[in-house]
Amino acid sequence: MTSNVVNSVPFLRTSRNFPEELHQLTVEINKSYVDIANTVNVRTIGLFPTNRPAITGECYFLVKNQRQQTLRQVYTFTTTAAIDHNIPVNDPNQFTSCFGSYTDGTNSYGIIWGTTVAIAGQISFYVTATQIVFLVGGAAPSISSGRIILTWLSQV
């Protein structure tokens, strides 16, 4: 019998009957601990650090059904100058989710992870092997401050 990790759903029982006999109780407590650890470890982790990558809790099974985790990092900015991301890029398709927002000091706006073509009225960005590159479409609101969040497949 094989286990299909990809289709398993984390579920933690809400009740458990523990045996009175010490050896059986030890076995059941050990099983309980493994169940709890496995269920907790598959959740999405809500950490968004600016100074180093954080594990997201997301799992991908893209190559030979081997588990790959993703990392996430926040980059803050006050201009549309390119930002060095310092992520070792082995595959230009390793970025899985990229998004951002900014303010002009009055309103808040979304930043689109797009292409290398500017969009009228919008600020968008794309990611190269070394940088986050902004594109400012005509009539886009000016930037006072903002943030970009990159999530990528880890190579470890």
Range of the domain at 28: 16-45
Helix (H, G, I), strand (E, B) or coil at 113: strand
**Residue 5 pLDDT more than 70?**
no
Q: Which positions ≥6 away from 30 have C-beta within 8 Å?
A: none
Instruction: pLDDT band for 86, please (50, 70, 90 cuts).
Output: very high
2 assigned to some structural domain: no
Same domain assignment for residues 24 and 70: no
- What pTM does this model have? 0.78
Q: What is the pLDDT of residue 35?
A: 85
Helices (H) and strands (E) in the chain, counts: 1, 8
Give the pLDDT confidence of 98-140 residue by residue, as tens digits: 999 999 999 999 999 999 999 999 999 999 999 999 999 999 9
Structure tokens at 59: 């799992």
What are the helix (H) ranges across 2-57? Answer: 22-41
Between residues 57 and 94, which one has the greater pLDDT?
Answer: 94
Same domain assignment for residues 84 and 31: no
